[in-house]
Structure 1
Amino acid sequence: MAIKQLAGLDASFLFLETAEMPMHVGALHVLELPAGFKGSFLEALRKHMRTRMPHLPALRRRLAAVGLNVVNPAWVDAEPDLEQHIVPVALPAGSGMVALEEAVARLHPQLLPRERPLWKFHVFEGLAPSPDDGATRVALYTQLHHAAVDGQAAVALAAVILDLTPVPRDMPARPPRKRHEPGTLSLLRGALLHQAKQYMNAARALPGAIGTLGASAGDAAGALLGLLRGKSASASPLKLAPRTRLNRSITAGRSFATVSLPLAELHRLRKVHGASLNDAVLFLCGTALRRLFLDWHELPKKPLVAAVPVSTRAAGDTASNNQATMSTVTLGTHIADPQKRLAHVLAASAAMKSSLGTLKDLMPLDFPSLGLPWLMEGAARLYGAASMAEKLPALANVAISNVPGPQVVLYLAGARMITNYPTSIAVHGMTLNITVQTYGDSLEFGLMACSDSLPETATLAAYLREALEEWRGMAA
């Protein structure tokens, strides 16, 4: 693998990471072992990963600092020690989902060592057997640094690691790669060439960016004028979020909960109301959050606002990097009537989609980084230490991400994967992250929050189930 300096967006996840704000993503999988399985699943998984590792370059690279860390680091070749990257976690015998969720909440704040490839797999043993047929169960919690992958890149990695049958497929042989350990001068030369290229690209893109910014400013000014005149702007993406307990500085503790909802029924309900699956996710999350804020007697008069990552990845692109931008959408949480709340979400979602072309043009994936590591790392530490999240206006209350996933049953080292709950990032000023991914015949929710501001993720998961019940009643 050639030396490759991290793109600006990828490197940002490194610079913003602190002890309170780890920047890795992953998933919690419950797995059922095949009948008659003997031995250790941990060892079976290590053996399996050795066979797949030649096809997983994103897991065989580490960071190398460049020029006293004044520019983005580079990826260099590194063969992972699977004894360190795939590790056992013992749970009390007979453990279930609650114990797994608590274990993930404890493990999630642990930072990935920067001197190794930025990933780690935790294998849980001690789970209760399947309630259906008594099959032996284990679980896997994966950590992948966001500097290396975004949601869809993680799905592409899973496509290499997982199989469609209990018998792992044969992978085409690849010749051993010649390890390349670059010297300091080589790294610095590559970084300087990359910086020069980025400045040239920025100069070429400047005229178009100015035009796009002008058009965006005009749209924003029109929306703002409408707001000042008292016109309804429920569908406008120009919204500040109400300040809530979710808009605080984050601490190192985490709360994590999961929920699976039936995908076929969600598709039936969304079609009845002319909604997309993403609209359905926003409506269900908004409904559950409304109920939680009512419990707290803290429901804002203004609607809660969700920050929604939007992929800019081209179809078929499986590169292991970040290709996404961010938009916002209001959730209608101030509306008691569920039909009107759904109508609000549909209108807000349509307004968000209409602005995506501009957002994609304005959000570069790479940009000059000279001095940025020091600047961003210092700013991240200062932001948390000075409790800036409590002082600045809130742009969003919650992150809600919907990542397309496989709708077939998959297997890992011969074990059938039962669940695929995403685990993602909570940040200063937005201490709750709800990430959703389709798997098999379910829509899998992973709720990750700062435990100081939201210890009740299990309650929120229960309210997501109740939100689906409410939607069923609307369609009756």
Structure 2
Amino acid sequence: MNHLSGLDATFLHFETAEMPMHVGSLNVLDLPEGYQGDFYEDAKAYMVARMHLADVFTRKLALMPFDLSNPVWVEDEDIDVDYHVRHVTLPKPGTNRQLQQYVARLHSTLMDRSRPLWEFFIIDGLQSGQVALYTKVHHAGIDGQAGVEVGKAIFDTAPTGRVVKPPRPRARSHNYQLGMAELATAALRNTAAQYVKLYKMLPALGRALGSLAKPAEAVPGSDGKALAKRFDMRAPRTPFNVSITNQRSFAGRTIPLAETKAIGKHFGVTLNDVVMATVSGALRRYLKDSNELPDKSLVAGVPVSLREAGDTSANNQASMILVSLASDLKDPIQRLRAINASSTASKSTMNKFKAVILDDFPMFGAPWLMSGAASMIGRSGLVNVLPPVANVAISNVQGAPFPMYFAGALVTCYYPVSIASHGTALNVTVQSYNGRMDYGLIACRRAVPDITEIGDYMLAEHQTLMDLMQALPGDAKSAAGAGKPGAARGAAPVPAAPVPAAPAAKTAAAKARKPAARKVAAGKTPARKAAVKKAPVPKAAPAKRARKAATA
């Protein structure tokens, strides 16, 4: 058996019907030229031959008696491949929007904890003639970087595939679950080891806390007021900071990786800063449409990997920092630089704690209490009145820089599908793949029914940054007074792979939240120039929209 760490188990204990804790991806595949076979059957055989390459495919949970401690992973000796690899056919006409709506519904359902916590769906019937692959794996088993390693097990670098050595035969134990006495003994031993580990880390934790209280080097204004500001974790309230339901909305958008890198290099910021600036500008436009943009800047919760180089273990090794999105600044370049400053400061603080952040901590007797608290917080409405810590979750995962293949079919895109949570109804996760930046937006459908508008605004914000990059020198401090570029930029290089992103769809609604404030000023519609390819081209964001009940 293999014990779940405290961090891994947290994703199990905090999971509710409204807040499933699995992550996934949407890939659209180009079948080989002239292919006449049954791709679903080929995909099943393909997975059977590779399941042993990653533990996540062959292990399941063994729960502790009375939920007194964290579960353990045990080998599943009877994996039902027909359950884990499923076939779905979209109704006609099979548009990209239909595909993404169906993925949102699949992502809203809980996984069966009596089986290995993964599911693959082969989706055909697409209008384009392509085939889609939607995957989901429970977050208790992997984080973003571990997911990339799992991808290496199931994807190939050539359409002909690679020779996979079969697993060594093992003696079957014929035990469906472990005995209660065996589980209880293992729980007590693991808890004792966790307390010893925590005790040994106390001196280092004390030193880290002491260094946090000291003013940072080269930071002006290290008086008491500036120090208090560094500990200000409050975020303004927005429509995203509410209790959520189990309904989901999903949208995927693509931006060329080369353009994102060029913006970062031109203005002297990181690629992550450009990603956050793109999301910030989109949210600023989206909230401004309905007069819901707060005076105080939005705050993003950004996961930070604690994984050592070369560590490919299938577990969670991450923490989170808070970054100001500078949404109170109108100027895009000022906003970008402010995000860079906030991100640098947060990472500096995190580096002081990185060595002492525990991903495995004692939780004896706590699981049942945590599960009850998660349900109470979500259903009681406390999240709707408590001050939010972050307004949106933003994550950036580095993926493969080369084309990959699944069962001989070319993977054309890699849209992440992450987690919406109580108090943070919107999650934006980005994965780089083969010269692309694939943005996956997942949200509670009731809180954000018009998620495609945010996706379109992201494309428009990226285009704005591209135009400013051409109009301003690299050391420009602000876009103010720069004027418009003298000539429109030519079309950006188009990625070789097609982009299966859905068009913006105007969602029906019974009542707008603020009807008087729904008019969009001229010139603020997120019309996308030819610089960023998205299939098909979205319509301009509607002048009036509703965010309440909407059909999926």
With the length of structure 1 as denominator, give the TM-score of the two structures: 0.94
Offset of 1:173 from its aligned partner?
Answer: 3.3
Q: Which residue is 2:271 aligned to?
A: 277
Say if 2:3 is the partner of 1:9: no
2:430–2:437 Cα contact (<8 Å) kept: yes
Tell me, in whole angstroms, the C-alpha distance in 1 between the residues paired with 2:64 and 2:380.
Answer: 29
Larger Rg: 2
Structure 2 unmatched runs, 5+:
471-552
Residue equivalent to 2:439: 445
| 1:368-401: CA deviation from partner (whole Å, max 9, x where unpaired) | 1101111110110111122121222111000000
Alignment of 1:263-274 (within 5 A): 263-274=257-268
Write out aligned runs for 1:237-248 (5 A).
238-248=232-242
SS in structure 1 of the partner of residue 457 of structure 2 = helix
1:172 aligns with 2:171: no
Equivalent residue in structure 2 for 1:153, among 140, 146, 154? 146
Task: Please tell me whether the aligned partners of residues 247 and 429 of structure 1 are also in contact (alpha carbons under 8 angstroms).
Answer: yes
Find the aligned partners of 1:363 and 1:207 in 2 and give their Cα distance.
13
Q: What does residue range 183-194 of structure 1 map to in structure 2 within 5 Å?
A: 183-194=179-190
- The one of 134, 153, 160 equivalent to 1:141 is 134
Report the CA distance between 1:80 and its aligned residue.
Answer: 2.1
1:307-343: CA deviations, max 9, x gaps?
Answer: 0000001111110000000001001111111121111
Label 1:237 to 1:42 Cα distance change in 2 as closer, same or farther (>3 A): farther
After TM superposition, give the deviation of residue 226 of structure 1 in Å.
7.0
Q: Structure 2: how far apart are the matches of 1:97 and 1:217?
A: 51
Are the equivalent residues in 1 in contact too, given 2:215–2:227 (CA < 8 A)?
no
Structure-1 separation of matches of 2:21 and 2:226: 40
Q: Deviations over 1:226-251 (max 9, x none)?
A: 79848996xx4743110111111111
Greater fraction of residues in strand: 1
Whole-angstrom distance in 1 between the partners of 2:223 and 2:427: 29
Partner of 1:69: 67
Q: Distance in 2 between matches of 1:174 and 1:120?
A: 21
Deviates more, 1:31-40 or 1:206-215: 206-215
State how many pairs are aligned: 463
Give 1:169 deviation, angstroms.
0.4
Letter in 2 for 1:341: R
The CA distance in 1 between the partners of 2:415 and 2:422, in whole Å, is 23
Q: Tell me what 1:45 maps to.
A: 43
Q: Which has the higher helix share?
A: 1
1:393 is matched with which residue: 387, 392, 402? 387
What is the letter of the counterpart of residue 161 of structure 2?
P
C-alpha distance in structure 2 between counterparts of 1:184 and 1:176, whole Å: 28
Moved more, 94-103 or 210-219: 210-219
In 2, Cα distance between equivalents of 1:264 and 1:295: 30
Counterpart Cα distance in 2 of 1:453 and 1:232? 33
1:87-136 Cα shifts (integer Å, max 9, x gaps) = 1112023412211110011111100001010010111110022xxxxxx3
**Alignment deviations for residues 143-170 of structure 1 (CA, whole Å, 9 cap, x no partner):** 1000011111111000010000111100
Amino acid at match of 2:121: H
User: Matched residues in 2 for 1:178 and 1:168: separation?
Assistant: 30
Residue in 2 that maps onto 1:117 = 116
User: Would the aligned equivalents of 2:56 and 2:118 in 1 still touch at CA under 8 Å?
Assistant: no
SS of 2:188's partner is helix
Cα distance in structure 1, aligned partners of 2:195 and 2:339: 40
Mapped contact 1:237–1:351 kept (Cα < 8 A): no
Aligned partner of 1:132 in structure 2 is none
Distance in 2 (CA, whole Å) between partners of 1:357 and 1:228 is: 22
- Equivalent positions of 1:214-363 (< 5 A) are 214-217=210-213, 229=225, 236=230, 238-363=232-357
- 1:471 aligns to 2:469 (yes or no): no
- Verify the 8 A CA contact 2:93 2:127 in the aligned structure 1: yes
3-state secondary structure, aligned to 1:36: coil
Q: Is the 8 A contact 1:258 1:446 kept in 2?
A: yes
Aligned-residue sequence identity (percent) comes to 42
Distance in 2 between the 1:49 and 1:173 partners?
12
Higher relative contact order (CA 8 A, sep 6+): 1
> 2 CA distance for matches of 1:219 and 1:324?
26
Cα distance between partner residues in 1 of 2:119 and 2:232 = 39
Aligned equivalents of 1:179 and 1:213: distance in 2? 50
Aligned to 1:85: 84
Distance in 1, Cα, partners of 2:325 & 2:49 = 45
1:163 corresponds to which residue?
A: 156
Alpha-carbon distance in structure 2 between the residues aligned to 1:375 and 1:56: 32
Q: 1:219 deviation in Å?
A: 5.6
Between 39-48 and 85-94, report the one with greater CA deviation: 85-94
Of 167, 183, 198 in structure 1, the residue corresponding to residue 194 of structure 2 is: 198
- CA deviations 1:14-67 (Å, max 9, x no partner) are 000000000000100101110121222111110000110121222101111123
State the distance in 2 between where 1:417 and 1:178 align.
37
Runs of 4+ in 1 over 6 A off after TM superposition: 225-228
Corresponding residue number in structure 1 for 2:126: 127
1:415 aligns with 2:414: no
Q: Where does residue 133 of structure 1 map in the other structure?
A: none
Could you say what secondary structure the match of 1:93 adopts? coil
* Deviation, structure 1 residue 172: 2.5
Paired residue for 1:25? 23
Aligned-CA RMSD value: 1.9
Q: In structure 2, the residue corresponding to 1:89 is in which secondary structure? A: strand
Structure 1 gaps, min length 5: 130-135
Distance 1:205 1:48 in 2: 45
- 2:205 matched to 1:212? no
